[in-house]
Structure 1
Amino acid sequence: MSAGSSLPYRLRPNKAVDRELFLSLLMRLTPSLSLENYQYVGLGGPFLEDFRLVHARLGLKRMACVETEQEVHKRQLFNRPIASIECVHATLEDYLDGHDFEAPAIIWFDYTEPKGITTQIERFARTIGTVPLGSVLRVTLNANPESLGKPDTNEVSVEIDDVASSDRKEKPTVQEWRLARFKERVGQLFPSGLSADGMTQKRFGFSVLRVLKLAVEKEALNFRDRRIVWALATHYKDGQAMVTAALVVCAADNTAIEELVKGWEFYSTSDSPHRLDLPALSTLERLTMESNDDVRAKMTFELPKSDMGEDPFSVFKKFYRIYPHFSRVEL
């Protein structure tokens, strides 16, 4: 577990919205799949907030929180909000290898380490063939292009506003250099047609999701009894850029689940993820944006954009119902 994953959600508003979207998906699936009878497996961090909410929203009782770091595991035992949560000191992979699922499961592969991304994607893809039909799988992956490394200044040429340095023909740009490193890292999972444009902060998340989709759909070809239904994908940045994707492992002849998720207002796939780039707002700004149609005219100023480049007014309008609100409570 990275240090960043122990940050409170009030410091990670986009992560908080991402979590609410996943919970919303699970609640939509619950009547059809009876998710209250599933087992939930994931990485809860020291506070197990995801587990508390899954239990509160869905009524799941069988839950396993897996953690590799000994001290974090001890904190989980202390902070465990529900007695039925099993806190396991192991890697997620070891836990899954040693566990036979008698019933469908919800499994969240919450990864933060970028160097192991190929192994992480391959493991997630293999799991679609080992879980019972009806299972819901979700993965979080690091999508920071700087994790591919930093070239020496004499290794690359420079381009600014379409003006290139004199050594452009002899040396690659930073994005081209990163593209070569990315191809080395993902190997045979490298998507055809992926260009250097996919190595920017704004586009790298889409490139990671293309690799994920290729791995999952390649694995799905090995099974005739099941099909994959993509349901939710997101791209966000709270410090580190991340992408997520969630899918349902359905019976090959089951079309009802696909119809159900496609009718959901937040349905998205790995091809077109939600860009969660929500602005930091004061309480007055939030209330004004919620209660007015022409917000720009009312507020008379622009909100700053992040390097993800999304329009903050449009993103807020799309996700205002699940925008996180935090307040201080004295206990």
Structure 2
Amino acid sequence: MSAGSSLPYRLRPNKAVDRELFLSLLMRLAPALSLEKYHYVGLGGPFLEDFRLVHARLGLERMTCVETEEEVHKRQLFNRPVASIECVHKTLEDYLDGIDFEVPAIVWFDYTEPRGITTQIERFARTIGAVPLGSVLRVTLNANPESLGKPEANEVSVEIDGAASGDRKEKPTVQEWRLARFKERVGQLFPSGLSAEDMTQKRFGFSVLRVLKLAVEKEALNFRDRQIVWALATYYKDGQAMVTAALVVCAADDAVVGDLVKGWEFNSTPDAPHRLDLPALSTLERLTMESNDEVGAKMAFKLPKSDMGEDPITVFKKFYRIYPHFSRVEL
């Protein structure tokens, strides 16, 4: 677990919205799939907040939190909010290799290390054939293009506002250099049609999701008894850029889950993920935006855009019902 994953959610509003979207998906599926009987497996960090919410919203009793760092594992044993949570000191991969699920599972692969992204994607894809039908799988992946490395200054040419340095024909740009590194990293999973523009901060997450979708759908071809229903995909940045995707492993002839997912207001796929780029707001700004259609007429200023480039008012209107509110409580 990286140090960043222990940051409180009040410092990561987009991550908080992403989590609420996943919980909303589970609640959408709960009546049809009887999720309260499922086995939830994930990485809970030192405070196990995800586990507390899954138990509170869905009533799951069987939950397993997996952690590789010994000191974090000890904190989990101390902090676990529900006695039925099993805290295991292992890697997630080792835990999954050693278990045969007796009931369908909800498994969250929460990865933050970018260098192992190909192995992470391949492991997630293989899991669709190892879990019982009806299982829900979710993965979080690092989507920072700078993780591909930094070229030496003499290895690349420079382009600024359309003007290129004199060595443009002999040397690649930074994005072209990254594209070559990305192709080396993902190997046979490299999607056709990717260009240097897809290696920028605004677009790299879409490239990662394309690799994920390709890996999962290739793996699904090996199983005639099951189908994959993509349910949720997001792209956000709270410090590090991240992407997530969630799917349901259904019986090949199942149509119920597909209809449920398609009718859900936040349904999204790796081809068109939600871009979570919510602004940091004061309480007065939030209340004004919630209660007025013409926000520009009420607020005599423009909210800043992040480097993801989304319009903050448009994004807020889309997700205002699950926008996180934090307040201090004295205990």
User: Is residue 2:212 matched to residue 1:212?
Assistant: yes
Q: What is the distance in 1 between the residues matched to 2:305 and 2:156?
A: 28
2:302 counterpart SS class:
coil
In the TM superposition, what are the counterparts of 1:155-194 in structure 2 within 5 Å? 155-194=155-194
Q: What's the CA shift string for 1:102-147, capped at 9, x where partnerless?
A: 1100000000000000000000000000000000000000000000
Q: What is the distance in 2 between the residues matched to 1:126 and 1:53?
A: 28
Structure 2 equivalent of residue 18 of structure 1: 18
Structure 2 equivalent of residue 8 of structure 1: 8
1:140 counterpart SS class:
strand
Q: What's the CA shift string for 1:244-293, capped at 9, x where partnerless?
A: 00000000000111111010000000000000000000000000000000
Output the amino acid matched with 2:280: A
Structure 2 equivalent of residue 279 of structure 1: 279
Structure 1 equivalent of residue 236 of structure 2: 236
Q: What is the distance in 2 between the residues matched to 1:285 and 1:50?
A: 28
In structure 1, runs of 5+ residues without a counterpart are none
TM-score, normalization by structure 2: 1.00
Distance apart, 1:308 and its partner CA = 0.3
What is the Cα-based RMSD across aligned positions, in Å?
0.4
2:112 counterpart SS class:
coil
User: Is residue 2:52 matched to residue 1:46?
Assistant: no
Q: What is the distance in 2 between the residues matched to 1:301 and 1:154?
A: 43
1:237 counterpart SS class:
strand
Distance apart, 1:297 and its partner CA = 1.4
Q: What's the CA shift string for 1:42-97, capped at 9, x where partnerless?
A: 00000000000000000000000000000000000000000000000000000000
In the TM superposition, what are the counterparts of 1:76-225 in structure 2 within 5 Å? 76-225=76-225
Output the amino acid matched with 2:158: V
2:218 counterpart SS class:
helix
In the TM superposition, what are the counterparts of 1:66-77 in structure 2 within 5 Å? 66-77=66-77
2:130 counterpart SS class:
coil
Structure 2 equivalent of residue 311 of structure 1: 311
Q: What is the distance in 1 between the residues matched to 2:74 and 2:235?
A: 32
Q: What is the distance in 1 between the residues matched to 2:291 and 2:41?
A: 39
Q: What is the distance in 2 between the residues matched to 1:256 and 1:286?
A: 37
Q: What is the distance in 2 between the residues matched to 1:159 and 1:298?
A: 41
Greater than 4 Å deviation, 4+ residue runs: none
Q: What is the distance in 2 between the residues matched to 1:264 and 1:294?
A: 27
Output the amino acid matched with 1:235: Y
Q: What is the distance in 1 between the residues matched to 2:222 and 2:168?
A: 45
Q: What is the distance in 2 between the residues matched to 1:297 and 1:244?
A: 35
1:181 counterpart SS class:
helix
1:266 counterpart SS class:
coil
Q: What is the distance in 2 between the residues matched to 1:299 and 1:225?
A: 55
Distance apart, 1:160 and its partner CA = 1.1
Structure 2 equivalent of residue 288 of structure 1: 288
TM-score, normalization by structure 1: 1.00
